[in-house]
Chain A
Amino acid sequence: MKAQPADPSSGIPKIGPAIRIEGARKLYRGGHLAVSDVSLLVDQGTVHGLLGPNGAGKTTTLKMLLGLVAPTEGTFEILGQPAGPAMSRRLGFLPEQPYFPPLLTASQVMMFYGRLAGMDTAAIRERTSVLLSQVGLEGRGADLVSSFSRGLMQRLGIAQALVSSPELLILDEPASGLDPVGQRDIRNLILAQRELGITVLLSSHQLSEVEAVCDEVTILDSGRVAQRGAIDTLLNITGQNSVTARSSADQLPEKIASIVGDVVVGSGTWVFSIPAHDSRRVVDVLDDDQEWELVSIQPKRESLEDYFSHLVSTRAEGQVSR
């Protein structure tokens, strides 16, 4: 579903990025520099993760994009147009730890946000019924928000973000406060939005969630972009492959033992890494050995958590040494 630049000869206008931020900077009164230089490009139809430790500038960047905070500098575009009220009406937003007027019912909350988006009452009712069901709030429409737990509030927050069928969805910590089943539901919901061609910008601390649903990530640190790129590119460890094999042997074949690293064995399954250029040799050795059955061989991946920790700690050390 990724939007591709159109062929100039086709006559179809080129579709721009869903979000483009250039040189964003925010200096608060009092001298606190929350964002020093952030540029961000989110392709249409993708799920883009915005990561960073506390104080990295994620929330301030989102607030500047949404017009909640005035940028000191920078260019902000949504769906190819300068960010502003008109473009904001085409997006859905879930703030971190959403909260709603406690004395409204869930249905009234949906009606409120639907009306703000210019929808008519019948369309809001229909959409409310579908969305409350999708987020696990079926039958709770008449309940006051004040009776909702944090997790239910989060689910309602996601439903309200989707009420106007937005082209762009901005989610700030969507799985926060949810139990594992709720987290899985939200993950599936995000993936379903991508299938519908909706662009999702996801700010999250839950790296496993980001790794599971995002196509690309931008990592912020100290108000700057520390890294950006496709998840697969960032997490693949260049020059290393991961091998999975089955064997009842108690040690590796002698011919490859010297090139193998990071060996993990359990219940007859061996997982180890090898230099990529030795892959042919390893396959041949395991094929020739009756005691071994090769299950898979693929480029080795780091977990996003490891990658993130490594990146942030490296940058911190760099700052200290400077």
Chain B
Amino acid sequence: MISRIAAIASAVFLDAIRRKVVWVVLLFSAVLAVAIPALPSYGAGVAQAVYREVALALVYAALVAVTLALAANRVPGEIERRTIYNVLARGVPRWEYLVGTWVGIVMTVGIVGLLFAVVAIGVGFVTYGAWMFTLLQGVFAIWLEAGVLAAFCMAVASVAGAVVVSVASVAFLFVTHARAGLFAPDTLGWKLYPSLDTFNIITPVAHGSGVSAGYLGLAVLVFAAWSGILLLISSAVFARRDL
């Protein structure tokens, strides 16, 4: 089971890492990162904090774009081109196919996030003479959220095409970040609302000293719960689908 999932994940990774869109997004984001210090709104004393905030915002946009580019059409495209037939006809259970594909996408997004973090930390050091390693915390949290988004794409893609997956994914991000505007903190609605705000640590990373290891552990648990539920739903739905 593990070897089949690993085989699918590595094939998805090898295919994804050669896609131009991944490198174009990374290059574009890196160029913007280099340009951040030139922003006119810089004030004395907050330059580094603004740099970190804008850098993390860029990472977020880049990883969401890469995740959607890789995940939205992965399953629908494989069904349309029939590459999925060869995989499933070899006795690969459908849930293994979905999980393997998801792992491959998450790996690719992770590499892109890591490369961007290296660029951002490097630019920060050259510009301000400070190693901003707390950026790694922010990139890690964003990567976890991208993983949840990829799992959501898998779930929708098990019944719909690429366009529906893309639209639904954007709506998903919007809804899961709308809690603060809908409920007051610590109300029942606040507690029950399906939110991805756990992964939003841009403020403590940009303006403070980052978050604790315990908080990152909690973020990993939230990631595992979200991804697990979404992959479970997608597997259950996909198992019944005629291909």
Residues of A within 8 A of B (CB): 28, 63, 66-70, 84-89, 91, 93, 95-104, 108, 112-113, 115-118, 157, 160, 164, 170
**18 A–B contacts from the bound complex (CB under 8 Å):** A63-B243, A68-B89, A70-B242, A88-B90, A89-B91, A98-B86, A99-B81, A100-B83, A100-B86, A101-B11, A103-B19, A104-B11, A115-B3, A115-B7, A116-B87, A116-B90, A116-B92, A157-B86
Q: Identify A93's interface contact among B6, B7, B83, B89, CB under 8 A.
A: B89
Enumerate chain A residues within 8 angstroms of B90, measured Cβ to Cβ: 88-89, 93, 113, 116-117, 164
Enumerate chain A residues within 8 angstroms of B3, measured Cβ to Cβ: 115, 118
B4, closest chain A residue (CB): A116
A86, closest chain B residue (CB): B91
Contact (Cβ within 8 A) A103 B243:
no
Q: Identify B15's interface contact among A96, A101, A170, CB under 8 A.
A: A101
In the bound complex, how far is the Cα of B89 from the Cα of A91, in angstroms? 8
Chain B, interface SS category? helix
Q: Identify B92's interface contact among A85, A91, A160, CB under 8 A.
A: A85
Is B88 close to A, CB under 8 A?
Answer: yes
Interface 0/1 of B53-87, CB less than 8 Å to A? 00000000000000000000000000001110111
Which residue of B18, B240, B242 has the most chain A CB atoms within 10 A of its CB atom? B242
Q: Identify A95's interface contact among B7, B19, B86, B93, CB under 8 A.
A: B86
Is B14 close to A, CB under 8 A?
Answer: yes
Enumerate chain B residues within 8 angstroms of A89, measured Cβ to Cβ: 90-91
A65, closest chain B residue (CB): B89
Is B230 close to A, CB under 8 A?
Answer: no
Extra pairs beyond A66-B89, A101-B14, A164-B90 (16, CB < 8 Å): A68-B88, A68-B243, A69-B243, A70-B242, A85-B93, A86-B91, A88-B91, A99-B82, A108-B14, A112-B10, A112-B11, A113-B86, A115-B3, A115-B4, A116-B92, A118-B3
Which residues 1-56 of B have a CB within 8 angstroms of A? 3-4, 6-8, 10-11, 14-15, 18-19
Enumerate chain B residues within 8 angstroms of A113, measured Cβ to Cβ: 86, 90
Enumerate chain A residues within 8 angstroms of B82, measured Cβ to Cβ: 95-99
B131 to chain A, nearest CB (A): 36
A201 to chain B, nearest CB (A): 12
B21 to chain A, nearest CB (A): 12
In the bound complex, how far is the Cα of B80 from the Cα of A99, in angstroms? 10
In the bound complex, how far is the Cα of B85 from the Cα of A91, in angstroms? 13
B240, closest chain A residue (CB): A70
Chain A, interface SS category? loop
In the bound complex, how far is the Cα of B18 from the Cα of A88, in angstroms? 31
Enumerate chain B residues within 8 angstroms of A28, measured Cβ to Cβ: 242
In the bound complex, how far is the Cα of B93 from the Cα of A79, in angstroms? 19
Interface 0/1 of B84-114, CB less than 8 Å to A? 0111111111000000000000000000000
B228 to chain A, nearest CB (A): 22
A43 to chain B, nearest CB (A): 22
In the bound complex, how far is the Cα of B91 from the Cα of A85, in angstroms? 4
In the bound complex, how far is the Cα of B19 from the Cα of A160, in angstroms? 24
Which residue of B11, B14, B15, B89 has the most chain A CB atoms within 10 A of its CB atom? B89
A128 to chain B, nearest CB (A): 15
In the bound complex, how far is the Cα of B125 from the Cα of A251, in angstroms? 102
Contact (Cβ within 8 A) B85 A68:
yes
In the bound complex, how far is the Cα of B91 from the Cα of A84, in angstroms? 7
State the 6 A-B residue pairs at the shortest beta-carbon distance, nearest first.
A88-B91, A115-B7, A89-B91, A85-B91, A103-B18, A93-B89
Q: Identify B83's interface contact among A99, A115, A116, CB under 8 A.
A: A99
B8 to chain A, nearest CB (A): 7
Enumerate chain B residues within 8 angstroms of A66, measured Cβ to Cβ: 85, 88-89
In the bound complex, how far is the Cα of B15 from the Cα of A86, in angstroms? 27
- Quick one: given A95-B82, A97-B82, A115-B7, are A103 and B14 in contact (CB under 8 Å)? yes
Contact (Cβ within 8 A) B15 A93:
no
In the bound complex, how far is the Cα of B89 from the Cα of A157, in angstroms? 13
Contact (Cβ within 8 A) B11 A108:
yes
In the bound complex, how far is the Cα of B89 from the Cα of A87, in angstroms? 10
Contact (Cβ within 8 A) B14 A104:
yes
Enumerate chain B residues within 8 angstroms of A108, measured Cβ to Cβ: 11, 14
In the bound complex, how far is the Cα of B7 from the Cα of A69, in angstroms? 24
